Structure formats: C-alpha cells, structure tokens
Structure 1
Amino acid sequence: MKREPPKSPCQTEIELDRLSSLPGHIIDQILSQLSIRDAVRTSVLSTKWRYKWATLPNLVFDNHCISLTSQDQAVIKSKLVSIIDHVLLLHTGPVYKFRLSHRDLVGVTDIDRWILHLSRSPIREFVLEIWKGQRYKLHSCLFSCQNLTHLELFNCLVRPPPTFHGFKNLKSLDLQHITIGQDVFEHLITSCPLLERLTLMNFDGFSHLNINATSLLFFDIGGVFDDVSFKNTFQLALVSIGLYAKDKIGKRPGYTSNLIKFFAHLPHIRRLEIQSYFLKYLAVGDVPLKLPSPCVDLGYLSLRINFDDCEENKAALCLLRSSPNLQELEILVSLLDPSNIV
C-alpha cells in the first residue's frame, strides 16, 4: 500500500483554519445569530475572529447573556455590569441597536453612563426594560439621539430636557409602565413627525390622551385615562384600545356622543379592537343610530360588551350600522351583573 506523504505544517494550518477563510459577511451573519456571550466566545476560534464580535452593530443584553448558578441579585448585577462595560469598552464601530432587558436588573446606576456612551453613536433602536424596583429616570442624553427610529421603554420616568424638540426620525414608540407628564406626552407625540406605531400600556402622570400624529398607522393602548381624542390621524388604520377603570367614565347626558368624537379623525380605520370598559366610554352622550360618516374601510371589529348595559348595546349597534364593509366580527361578553340574573 502506497503511503501518502506527510502533510507539511502549512497544509495542516490551512485545513485547521478554514473558519478564517470564511467571507466577512458570512462571519457577520453567524455572529448576528448568537447571544452577546456566545459572540464574544468566538474570539478564540482564530486570529480573524478574535475581535470580530467587537464590530457587531446590534448589542442585546438580556437573560441569555449571563450564565450563573447563583441566585444572589448582587452577584448577578455585578456580573451584568461587568459584561456590558467590557463590551462597550472594546466595541469598535457604530452601535445601531442597544437592548437591555434582564429580569434581575435592579438599582443599576450604571445605565446613565451607558446611555451617555451610546449617545455618541448613531443609535437607531434603543430598548430599556427595567423589570423590578422603582422607575428609572431616563438620562437626558438619550433625547439627543436623533437617529432613533425605534424607542421602547419599560418602567421608566420620562422627563426630557427643555432643549428637546422631538425625535425627527422616530417611527415606533413603545411606552409601558411609565410616568410622564401631560404636556410632555403631547409634545413627544406631536414632535415626532414620522411616528407610525404607538404603544402605550399602564402609564401615569397624565389622563387625557390627545393624539396628534399625522403619520400614525398603528395605535395600541391599555390603561386608566379620562378621555381620548384624535387629531390629524387620517392615516390611522389599526387601533386597539382598552380602558381598565370603570369608575373613570363620567355620564354626560345631552352631550355629543363619544362615538362621534372618537371616529371623527379616523376615516380610514381598517381594524378596531375595543377592550375592557372602552365600549362603555364610547356609549357616553347621545348615541346616534349611525355615525355621520360611515367606517367604509373597517373590515375587522372586536368588541367586549356587557349585554345588560343598554347604552353599550346602543353604541355597538351604531357601530355595526356604520360599518357597511365589515368582514370579521368578534364579540367578547363581559361578566353579567349577578343582580340582574333571575
């Protein structure tokens, strides 16, 4: 049997270093599918991979970025802070996306420092979810990030500096469990001219939802509020709205129906979900048989209704009569009042 000649050291090195021969865009694609922890680990694969992770434009720090058996929050917090500091220190190139969402993130004062660092980069997506503890007061530097297209905040206190004049490129805004003043909220919405998606859940600091947004297409809200009104929202097509407090609804007999006011600036609504007690809110005032202008584009309607409430029934019938092209209807029945059951 003829023996093959032994491979030279160069041949062996070439075969062992196949990962280094991968095109750069393939390496980037591989790294983009990994958690930040695993991406950093690839630095041991070869010299070409050693600092490749440091150019990742999307940084996600969540429950997958730490592997610890300890349940001690102090240990978890210390490790998380160390990882984020390490990544930001060694990172080269722009950061386009930053997401910080860890279940054990409590009392981390370093967030201010990280936001200051990110404000010097052309950040486009910023997500901050504080799951525990008191609400984090958002650092003012974030409001200077004019490249933002998506902003998502959870358990934050929002107080922009006086010099803030809006996010000129923001298209998506998601605010949940936040505190924000009435004037601040209204200014934030009106000063984002490209805003297309607005999500607002469980908020405090204001009670009147005055939505003035010319580019808005999608609006999802759930919380406790006194009133809602739309202005310049003629493109708004998808609305999901829930009022979580029955006692916030005041009776106004003899007044124009909330139904008419609500739909006045929604001529092209295509999908509507009415949840919790919001149908009762719409039933306040003089409910007409039909809306002055029919909802000709409305194809999907979901209603939560209390059939024991005559005013809610009137409001629902008015809406159905005003939706000539409705294709799909979902009716969710609220629990009946036990005193009305014979």
Structure 2
Amino acid sequence: MMGSNKRKFVSCVEEDRISNLPEHLISTILELLRLQDAVKTSILSKKWRYIWTKMRMFIFDNYFFNKFAKNGAFGRNGFIRIINKVLNLHTGPILKFIIHIPNINMFHDSFEEVDQWMLLLSRNGVSELIFTNSSQRNKLPC
C-alpha cells in the first residue's frame, strides 16, 4: 500500500534545440521580428547575446517611433541616440535599412546625423535604403 502513495519524479532535461541552430539561421529568424523584440533575445543565452548585431535588415518604422514616443523616450536626441547605438553596435553587412522620421523638423538645424548614418550604411554595403516621413516616401538611388 505504501508503494502506491509514493510519487515518482522524473528529471527530464531537454536539449536546447534553438540555441544549437546555425547562427545564420538564427539571424534569419531574428530578421522576422521587430527590432526591439530581436534585441530582447540577447538575454536568452550567451550565444544569443550579440546575434542581433549581425542582422542584415533594420526597420525603424512608424511603429518603432510610436512605441518609444509613448514612453517619453524620444525627442530629437533620444531618436538619434537609438539609431546611432544600433548602427555603432552592428557588425557585418546591412542590406536593407528603412527609417521613418515622423517630423522632418527634428533635423531643421542640420542633417549631420543623417550624413553620419549614410556614411555608416555605405560602408556596410546597404543595397536598399528608404527614408519616410509623414507625408512622403523617399527611396534613395544606388
């Protein structure tokens, strides 16, 4: 009778299949996520910590801007600081870069920041570069 009341515990440690995927496949998966979600994956493990920095596509769209603006994290300097941080941490090629600047007046004094972004992007082999704002979409030539 005592044997029927005992619970049996089974220790089952499964293999971490996602972390064992090839890095290029993990990067491809991360590119399907929004940038802020891809960056959040860096806390999953040591292997995942900097994989987002090798992404080949960055999209700073209206959703990105609105999410941070809602938290009061933006303004001209906050917006520029985030873009600069991402571009400076990035390693490898950037094939596609889309940025939404909701208020072009954010850069009314100078386009120095945009010039710096263009320089960084040109050094990283960007093949598709799109700047948008509230009223128009500009696709820059090669």
State the TM-score bracket (shorter-chain normalisation).
Answer: 0.7 to 0.9
Per the TM alignment, residue 106 of structure 1 is displaced from its structure 2 partner at its CA by 3.0
Q: Tell me, in whole angstroms, the C-alpha distance in 2 between the residues paired with 1:26 and 1:94.
A: 16
Aligned to 2:46: 47
Q: 1:53 to 1:105 in 2, by over 3 A?
A: farther
Q: Confirm or deny that 1:60 pairs with 2:47.
A: no
Give per-residue Cα distances to partners, 1:215-235, cap 9 Å, x unaligned: xxxxxxxxxxxxxxxxxxxxx
Within-5 A mapping of 1:4-83: 4=9, 7=11, 12=13, 15=15, 17-66=16-65, 67=67, 68-69=69-70, 75-83=74-82
State yes or no: 1:121 paired with 2:124: yes
Map Cα deviations across residues 86-120 of structure 1 (whole Å, 9 max, x no partner).
11111000111111113235333311111111121
Query: Which runs of no fewer than 5 residues in structure 2 stay unpaired?
Result: 1-5
TM-score (norm 1): 0.33
- In the alignment, does 2:139 pair up with 1:152? yes
Indicate how the Cα distance of structure 1 residues 152 and 44 shifts in structure 2: closer, same or farther if over 3 A, else same.
Answer: same
Which residue of structure 2 aligns with residue 177 of structure 1? none
Partner deviation per Cα, 1:254-287 (whole Å, 9 max, x = no partner): xxxxxxxxxxxxxxxxxxxxxxxxxxxxxxxxxx
2:103 matches 1:97: no
List runs of 5+ in structure 1 lacking aligned partners. Answer: 133-150, 154-166, 171-342
**Residue aligning to 1:85:** 84
Partners of 1:35 and 1:76 in 2: how far apart? 21
Q: Is the 8 A contact 2:101 2:131 kept in 1?
A: no
Residue 3 of structure 1: aligned partner: 8
Deviation at 1:85, TM superposition (A): 0.8
- Match of 2:106, SS state, is coil
Of structures 1 and 2, the one with the larger relative CO (CA 8 A, separation 6+) is: 2
Q: Secondary structure at the match of 1:98?
A: strand
Q: Does the 8 Å CA contact 2:94/2:126 hold for their aligned counterparts?
A: yes
Equivalent residue letter for 1:121: N
How high is the TM-score relative to the length of structure 2? 0.73
Q: Which residue of 2 aligns with 1:111?
A: 114
The structure with the larger Rg is 1
Superimposed CA distance per residue, residues 184-230 of structure 1 (whole angstroms, 9 cap, x where no aligned partner): xxxxxxxxxxxxxxxxxxxxxxxxxxxxxxxxxxxxxxxxxxxxxxx
Distance across 1 between alignment mates of 2:91 and 2:125: 13
Indicate the percent of aligned positions where both proteins have the same amino acid. 35
Q: Hey, which of these two has a bigger chunk of strand by percent?
A: 1
Structure 2 CA distance, aligned partners of 1:105 and 1:76? 12
Q: Shift of residue 71 of structure 1? A: 7.2
Aligned partners of 1:60, 1:105: CA distance in 2, in Å?
Answer: 18
